[in-house]
Structure 1
C-alpha cells in the first residue's frame, strides 16, 4: 500500500468522481484509475463501485478511507511543519467551532490569529458535535472546539476543557408552551435538535429518557446548522435545547426565551478536541493559544455584557 494509492482514494471521496479527483491531484484520469486498481488488486478487495453516474465506496472501501484520511492528513501536517522550518509560511488549518464559541469568541480569536500567522489559510466548519466528531475521526480536521457532555471520556481523543455551561429548553417568545413547567407536557411539540443515527440514543438519553419521557421520533427534526435551527425555532414554533449563554447573544436575545422546566439537562463542556497521539501543528497551537487569550481577557472585563456572559460560564483552564 503506497501513499499515492491512499491519496487517490481520499481525493475520489472528496471530489466525488475519478475525473474530479484527477483535477484535484493534478494527474491524468488514467493515473488515478490505475492507482485505485492497483490498490484493489494488492488488497484483493473491492473498494469502489463504478457506475455510469460516478463511483461510490463499498463497506470495505469506506473503512480503508477512514485510515487513509488519517495517514494523508498527518503527512500534510508534517510537510507544513517542515515547510515552516525552512522559512515557508504558507499552510492551512481546518477546524470546527461550536456555535456558542462561534458567536462569542471566534471573531476576536481569528483576528488575533491572523496577526500572528497571516499566511495560514483557515477552513472553519460549524462545529455541531454530531457532524464534527466523524470529521475528526477521519482526520479531515486539525481539531474541534466542541461541546461535549461533562461525563464523556473518549480514549480516541485528547480533550482540553475550556469552559462549562448549562443547557436549557428554549422557544420563541410567546410560544403556546411557554408556561409549561415539565418536559412531559412538551412531548407533543416538534423539536429542532442535532443528531446522527450514531448519536441518536445518546441524545435521547440526555434530553428525554433520563427523565422518563418518551417522545415520538417524528417529533425530532435533525438540523445540522445553527442558523437553520434558529429559523425553525423562531418561525416554525419548534422547541430546542441549547446553551443558556446563547440567550445573551445577538442571534437570540431579541426573540428567544428559556422554558423554566422542572427537569434539568445537565452541564456540558466546551473543549479543544483532537485525535489522540496526533501531532498538532504550530498553526493549531497558535490558534488555541489565541482563543484562550481572548477568553481570559473577556472574563476579566468590567463590561456588563461580559459580566453577564461569564456569570453563565465556568472557566476550566
Structure 2
C-alpha cells in the first residue's frame, strides 16, 4: 500500500465521490481512480462500488478506510512533532469537549492556548462520548475531555483523570415533578439521555436498575447533542441525568433544577481520553495544561459563582 493510494481512499470516503476527492486532493479524477484501482488490485479485494449517488464502500473497504485514517493521522502528527523540534509550532489540533466544560471553562482555555500556540489550527467538537469515541478510534480526534464509564474503558482507550463531579436528575424550573424525592416517582415521566452505543446498560444500571427501578424504553429519547437535550428538557418536560453543576452554571441558572433524590449516584470522572498507546502532541499537551490551569484558578477563587460551581466538583490533579 502506498501513501497516495491511502490518501485517495480516505478522501473518497470523506467526500463521497471520486470527483470530490480529486478536487480535495488537487488531482485529476483519472489519478484518483487509478490509485483506488491499484489498491484494489494489490489487495485482490473489492473495496467499493460506484453508484449513481457516489461511492459505496464494501466491508473490506470500510476496514481499510479506518486503518488508513490512522496511518495518515500518525504521519500528520509526525510532521507536527518534527516542526516543533524545528521551533515551528504549526499543524492542527482536534479536541472533543464535553458540553458542561464548554459552558464553563472552555473560553478561557482557548484564549490561553491561542496565546501560547497562535499558529496551531484548533478544531473543537461538542463532544458527548457517543460522538467522541468513533473519532478517537479512527484518529480524527487527538483527545477528548469527557467521561468514559468504567465498562467502556476498554484496551483501546486511556484516561487521565482531572476531576470528580456529582451527578443528579435534572428537570426544568417549574416542572410538575420538581419536588420528587425518589427515582421511583419519575418512572412515568419521559426522559432524554445521552450514552455511547456500548453504554446503555451501564447508564440504566446507574440511574434505575441498581435502585430496583425500571423505566419503559419507549419513554427514553436518546439525544446526541446538548442543544437537543436542552430543548427536550425545557420545552417537552422531559427528565435527564447529568452533572449537578448544570443547575448552577451561568448558562442554565434559573432554568434547570437538580432534584434532591434519596437515591445516591456515584460521582463521575472528567478525564482526558485518548487512544491507548497514543501520545499527546506538544500542542495537545499545551491545551491540556491550559485546561488544568483554568480549573485550578477557578477552584481557588472566592467568587460566588466559582464557589457554587465547586460545591459539586473535586479537582484530582
TM exceeding 0.5:
yes
Structure 1 equivalent of residue 143 of structure 2: 143
Give the conservation status (yes or no) of the 8 Å contact 2:151–2:202: no
- Does structure 2 conserve the Cα–Cα contact (< 8 Å) formed by 1:74 and 1:279? no
Confirm or deny: 8 A CA contact 2:152 2:198 kept in the other structure: no
2:199 corresponds in structure 1 to 199
Aligned residues: 317
Q: Distance in 1 between matches of 2:304 and 2:213?
A: 38
Distance in 1 of aligned mates of 2:291 and 2:280: 16
**Which piece of structure 1 moves more, 229-238 or 304-313?**
304-313
| Conservation of the 8 A alpha-carbon contact between 1:150 and 1:268 | no
> Secondary structure of the equivalent of 1:136?
helix
State the alpha-carbon separation in 1 of the partners of residues 279 and 153 from structure 2. 20
User: Which has the larger displacement, 208-217 or 141-150?
Assistant: 208-217
Within-5 A mapping of 1:273-288: 273-288=273-288
Alignment of 1:12-91 (within 5 A): 12-91=12-91
Q: 1:31 to 1:236 in 2, by over 3 A?
A: same
Which digits, 9 at most, give the CA deviation of each residue in 1:205-226, with x for residues without a partner?
3322333332222211121111
Q: Label 1:93 to 1:130 Cα distance change in 2 as closer, same or farther (>3 A).
A: same
Checking the alignment, whether the CA contact within 8 Å between 1:98 and 1:128 is kept in structure 2 is yes
Alpha-carbon spacing, 1:56–1:208, altered in 2? closer, same or farther (3 Å): farther
* Deviation at residue 87 of structure 1 after TM alignment: 4.0
Q: Secondary structure at the match of 1:198?
A: coil
Q: CA RMSD in A?
A: 1.7
Partner of 2:158, secondary structure, is: strand
1:308 is paired with a residue whose SS is helix
Q: Which sections of structure 2, spanning at least 5 residues, go unmatched?
A: none
Single out whichever of 260-269 and 140-149 deviates more from structure 2.
260-269
Cα distance change on mapping 1:153 and 1:53 into 2, 3 Å: closer
C-alpha distance in 2 between matches for 1:296 and 1:150: 25
| SS state at 2:199 partner | helix
Cα distance between partner residues in 2 of 1:205 and 1:68: 37
Secondary structure of 2:154's match? coil
Note if contact 2:130-2:197 (Cα within 8 Å) is conserved in structure 1.
no
Q: Provide the C-alpha distance between the structure 2 equivalents of 1:108 and 1:206, rounded to a whole number of angstroms.
A: 33
Q: Say whether the 8 Å CA contact 2:246–2:256 is kept in structure 1.
A: no
Partner in structure 2 of residue 154 of structure 1:
154
Paired residue for 1:9?
Answer: 9
Q: How far does residue 83 in structure 1 lie from its aligned partner after superposition?
A: 2.3
TM, length-normalised to structure 2: 0.94
Gaps of 5+ in 1: none
The structure-2 alpha-carbon separation of the partners of 1:199 and 1:32, relative to structure 1 and needing over 3 Å to count, comes to farther
Does 2:315 match 1:315? Answer: yes
Equivalent residue number for residue 300 of structure 1? 300
Contact map agreement 1:150 1:269 (CA 8 A) in 2? no
Stretches of 4+ moved more than 4 A in 1? none
Q: CA deviation at 1:266?
A: 1.5
Give the conservation status (yes or no) of the 8 Å contact 1:74–1:278.
no
Q: Answer yes or no: is 1:254 the counterpart of 2:259.
A: no
Cα distance change on mapping 1:208 and 1:16 into 2, 3 Å: farther
What is the rounded CA distance, in whole Å, between the counterparts of 2:66 and 2:97 in structure 1?
A: 22
Counterpart residue number, 2:234? 234
